[in-house]
Structure 1
Amino acid sequence: MAATIRYTDVEVGTELPEQVYPVRRLDLVRYAGASGDFNPIHWNERVAKSVGLPNVIAHGMFTMAEAGRLVTDWVGDPGALVEYGVKFSAPVVVPDDDEGAEISVSGVVKEKRDDNQVVVALTARSGGAKVLVRANAVVRLA
């Protein structure tokens, strides 16, 4: 568990250390089971390509969750997340091999608000593409 991040110790411009999250086909199958989203574009290459995708893609909400994980790990308390929103800009393509894909996520505090809240702007990339834009999380710090 992360050390407690205190509001008084954070300034606008504080960077959250980049994290890289691996994504394998097995992760997508597990996520499908947990979420109930069994759309075949998330596990069947033939179907994904038949609808114009380059390969199987990760669920958008899976991608969003991995980016949010950076913030909740940083603050050390998932309950501190007050608000979170993103816009999806590109899919995370997950090949069927031993490597899979990676989602790299970084963040920076872009605003300090009253009530010990900060706004964190997130950047998420995979395969050289920005996969989320306007990704912002509001967290309440100690």
Structure 2
Amino acid sequence: MSLTWKEISLNEEMILEKLPIEKVQLVKYAGASGDFNMIHQDEETALKVGLPKIIAHGMLSMGFLGEHLKDIVGENGFVKNLKVQFRGMVFIEDKVICKAIAKKKNEQEKLIDLDILAETAEGRVVTKGSASIKYY
């Protein structure tokens, strides 16, 4: 879903729905990130530390938001900045929905500021922040 500068309107909500989190995805992410904490891979370990089940790496939801922004701007520009706060856990089998809402367009700089959010299909907010995309 690549959008041009003109195709993005203020307060427009752009959505990316991810497939449910699977264990193989978490194992691959552990290898890529170097975070091999077993709460992300082994249910027994997750239960032992008081979690209801395996949780995804927090940075994975940030990565989903970055992917969403990259998809929005496409080859028309780049993601200039991305800031997030982690608000909740993503569990294995959760479906993450990423949202970006255009809040400000700077015509002179071709810069769009956005509010961004990752939530579960049930509406539980897991990551929230802001970002800017710059168009060429």
Question: TM-score, structure 2 length as denominator?
Answer: 0.87
Q: Deviations over 1:101-131 (max 9, x none)?
A: 2101121101123511111111211152111
* 2:95 paired residue among 93, 99, 102: 102
* AA at the equivalent of 1:50: K
2:109 maps to 1:120: no
Q: Could you say which residue in structure 2 is the equivalent of 1:19?
A: 16
Q: In the superposition, relative to structure 1, how do residues 63 and 4 fare at CA in structure 2: closer, same or farther (>3 Å)? A: closer
- SS of residue matched to 1:92: coil
Contact 1:92 1:127 in 2 (8 A): no
- SS of residue matched to 1:101: coil
Structure 1: gaps of 5 or more residues: 95-99
Q: In the superposition, relative to structure 1, how do residues 9 and 127 fare at CA in structure 2: closer, same or farther (>3 Å)? A: closer
For 2:117 and 2:39, the matched residues in 1 are separated by: 24
* AA at the equivalent of 2:73: V
Q: Could you say which residue in structure 1 is the equivalent of 2:29?
A: 31
Question: TM-score, structure 1 length as denominator?
Answer: 0.84
Q: How many residues align?
A: 133
Q: In the superposition, relative to structure 1, how do residues 19 and 9 fare at CA in structure 2: closer, same or farther (>3 Å)? A: closer
- SS of residue matched to 2:24: helix
Q: Could you say which residue in structure 2 is the equivalent of 1:65?
A: 63
After TM superposition, where is structure 1 displaced by more than 6 Å over at least 4 residues in a row? none
Structure 1 residue 11, shift from structure 2 partner: 3.2
Structure 2: gaps of 5 or more residues: none
Percent identity between the aligned chains? 29
* 1:131 paired residue among 114, 121, 126: 126
Q: Could you say which residue in structure 2 is the equivalent of 1:97?
A: none
